[in-house]
Structure formats: structure tokens, C-alpha cells
Amino acid sequence: MIEHRQTYLTPNKYSRPQTPLKKVTKIAVHYVGNAGSSAQGNRNYFESLKDKHLYASSHYIIGLNGEIIQCIPENEISYCTNQANSYSISIECCHPKTDGKFNDKTLNSLIELCVHLCKKYNLNPLTDIIRHYDVSGKKCPLYWVNNPKEFELFKNTVKKRLEGDELTMTQYNELKQEIDTIFKEIDGIKPKTYSTIEEVPEWGKEAISYYINNNLLQGTDKGLNIDYNLLRLLVILYREKSSH
């Protein structure tokens, strides 16, 4: 286990209800939303909610110096990721500025923690590390919502580290360029919802056909009902799979 400090919240109905977390299938990354605040300060805020009667908490908080505080045992749910609380480990990350970008120390600790959790729960970083935004639409973590290719780069970095590869700066830049290329290919398309394979743009047809033929995508009574953002994600995941 990577170095961290266990400072568990006092059991209470608002921030640590001690509800069992029976199976972990996702890691949900958040940003604290309070620029310049510390991991300990955010932990103390969660602790105070038992008196304020507000619901919120997180399993882990990563500070500006890369320190990791564990607030809740991994076998209990946290109140952090809406409907994903029952199956996800939540990680709140501190950030120095209002744009929500994590500094290098915070990011490196986040990578290490995600590698550890992916190993422990047999998770795929490309599909099982999610943003709060992916669950509820909330702009969290803000920087990765506004810069989705940076989130893809993060997940791929975790994947490489999980495979035992310590990326050199050259390899990191090559990976970043590859992700940039994917986003450039699919940027600029007018957002819409695609109901049939014929409506899907040429750059997405191969990926969607694969998912349909393998019964991984079935659609609804409205057809495929794939919006533009989901199409982008499916194409990225398919290209990553096809490259191996």
C-alpha cells in the first residue's frame, strides 16, 4: 500500500454512515472546489458535517504536497459521487488555483493511488476510473471537464504504470500527442444524438459496429440513442483496445 494517513471520520449518518460497500467497480475522481485548501482542512470539513447535518464525504483526499488522507475505510460507502456511491471509491484532490488543475505532487500521488486501487480491485484504468462529471454532469473535477484529453492522458498514464512501465518524458509526450490526435480528429463535429449506424460519422462507424456486433451496445426504443460525447468516448476506448 502506498504511504497515506488514516484519519477516519467519526461514524455518523451525514458523512460516515458505515453502509457496507460490497463491491468496488469504479474509482471516482473529484476536485475539492476550494482553491488552495489543504487535505486536512477538507477532512475537517467532512468531520464537521455531522453537526451541520449535511451529507458529504470522500474515501481519500490528496493534498497540495501529495499527502494522502484516508477518511473512510474502503469497505464503507462515502457520500461523494451520487448514484455511484454504492460501487465506487472516491478521491478528492486539492488544487492551487480556481481552474482546478492539480499540481504535479497531487497528480503523482493520484496516479500512485489509482494504480494501487486498480491492482487491488482488478480494475481497468481506461474504463473504471471516472470523473464525478461522468456520473452526474457536475463540472468536477473542473479542469478535466474543461480539458477532457488531459483526463484521457491521466488514465493512460495509470494504465502504463499498472503494466510496470515508468514513462520517460519522451514516451509521455508521445502518448499525449497520440491523444491530441484523436481529439483533433473528432473535434468540431456538431453535437447531436445518433439513432442508427448510418447516422454515425465515418470516424465512429467502425467502433460502433464493433460494439453492436459483440452485443455491447443495444440502444433503446429510440434506436442507438448515442450522444456526441458518448460517441467520442466509445471511439477512444475502441482505438485503445485495437492498438494492442
Per-residue pLDDT at 193: 82
Rounded CA separation 242/179 (Å): 14
Per-residue pLDDT at 51: 96
Per-residue pLDDT at 230: 86
- What are the cell numbers at 70? 484516508
- Report whether CATH 1.10.4030.10 matches the domain 5-168: no
Pairing relationship of beta strands 129-131 and 26-31 according to DSSP bridges: parallel
Domain boundaries, the chain: 5-168, 188-244
Residue 227 — φ and ψ, nearest 5°?
-85, 175
Per-residue pLDDT at 235: 85
Rounded CA separation 77/17 (Å): 8
Rounded CA separation 85/81 (Å): 5
Q: Which residues contact 227 (CB under 8 A, 6 or more apart)?
A: 191, 192, 193, 194
User: Between 148-162 and 169-186, two packed helices, what is the crossing angle to 10 degrees?
Assistant: 140
Per-residue pLDDT at 227: 83
- Asked whether the beta carbons of 207 and 234 are under 8 A apart, the reply is yes
- Asked whether the beta carbons of 138 and 151 are under 8 A apart, the reply is no
| Residue numbers of the chain with a pLDDT score lower than 70 | 1, 168-169, 185-191, 220-222, 242-244
